A and B are shown apart, each in its own frame.
Chain A
Amino acid sequence: MAISVLICDDSGFARKQMARALPDNWDVEVSFACNGEEAIQAISEGKGEVVFLDLTMPVMDGIQTLTYIREHDLNAMVIVVSGDIQPEAQTQVSQLGALDFIQKPISKEKSAEVLKRFGLL
Chain B
Amino acid sequence: MNKHIVSITEDQRDCYQEIANVAMGQAAALLAKLLEVKVILPIPVVNLIEVNELRMALSGIENSDKVSGVCQGFIGNKISGEALLIFNDASLSDIAKLLKYSNELDTSLDLELLMDVANILIGACLRGIGSQLDVNFSQGHPVVLGQHVNLSELISTNNYRWSKTLAIEINYKIEGYDINCDLLLLFAEDAIEVLNNKVNYLLED
**A interacts with B:** yes
The answer to whether B21 touches A56, judged by C-beta atoms less than 8 angstroms apart, is yes
Known: A11-B17, A11-B18, A85-B29. 12 other contacts (CB 8 A): A11-B15, A11-B21, A13-B15, A13-B202, A14-B18, A56-B21, A56-B42, A82-B25, A84-B28, A84-B29, A86-B29, A86-B32
Among residues of A, the one whose C-beta sits closest to the C-beta of B43 is A56
Interface residues of B in 1-27 (CB under 8 A from A): 11, 14-15, 17-18, 21-26
The answer to whether A84 touches B15, judged by C-beta atoms less than 8 angstroms apart, is no
Q: Could you list 16 examples of A-B contacts with CB < 8 Å?
A: A10-B43, A11-B14, A11-B15, A11-B18, A11-B21, A12-B14, A13-B14, A14-B21, A16-B203, A56-B41, A83-B21, A83-B41, A84-B41, A86-B32, A87-B32, A105-B132
The answer to whether A86 touches B14, judged by C-beta atoms less than 8 angstroms apart, is no
B28 / chain A contacts, CB cutoff of 8 Å: 84, 86
Shortest CB distance A84–B (Å) = 5
Knowing A11-B21, A13-B14, A104-B22 are in contact, say whether A86-B202 is a contact too (CB < 8 A).
Answer: no
In the bound assembly, the distance between CA atoms of A83 and B11 in angstroms comes to: 19
> Chain B interface residue count: which class?
20 to 34
Please tell me if A73 contacts chain B, counting CB pairs below 8 Å. no
Shortest CB distance A67–B (Å) = 17
The answer to whether A83 touches B14, judged by C-beta atoms less than 8 angstroms apart, is no
Interface residues of A in 71-113 (CB under 8 A from B): 82-88, 104-105
User: How many residues of A are counted as interface, with CB atoms below 8 angstroms from the partner's CB atoms?
Assistant: 19
Shortest CB distance B13–A (Å) = 10
Please tell me if B39 contacts chain A, counting CB pairs below 8 Å. yes
Please tell me if B38 contacts chain A, counting CB pairs below 8 Å. yes
Binding site for B on A (CB under 8 A): 10-14, 16-17, 56-58, 82-88, 104-105
Nearest 3 interchain pairs by C-beta:
A83-B25, A11-B18, A83-B22
In the bound assembly, the distance between CA atoms of A77 and B25 in angstroms comes to: 24
In the bound assembly, the distance between CA atoms of A56 and B18 in angstroms comes to: 10
The answer to whether A104 touches B11, judged by C-beta atoms less than 8 angstroms apart, is no
Among residues of B, the one whose C-beta sits closest to the C-beta of A54 is B21
Knowing A13-B203, A58-B43, A105-B132 are in contact, say whether A86-B38 is a contact too (CB < 8 A).
Answer: yes
Interface residues of B in 26-73 (CB under 8 A from A): 26, 28-29, 32, 38-39, 41-43
In the bound assembly, the distance between CA atoms of A11 and B203 in angstroms comes to: 12
Shortest CB distance B166–A (Å) = 16
Shortest CB distance A90–B (Å) = 10
B11 / chain A contacts, CB cutoff of 8 Å: 12-13
B21 / chain A contacts, CB cutoff of 8 Å: 11, 14, 56, 83, 104
Interface residues of B in 89-112 (CB under 8 A from A): none
Of residues A14, A57, A58, A86, which shows the largest number of chain B Cβ atoms within 10 Å of its Cβ?
A86
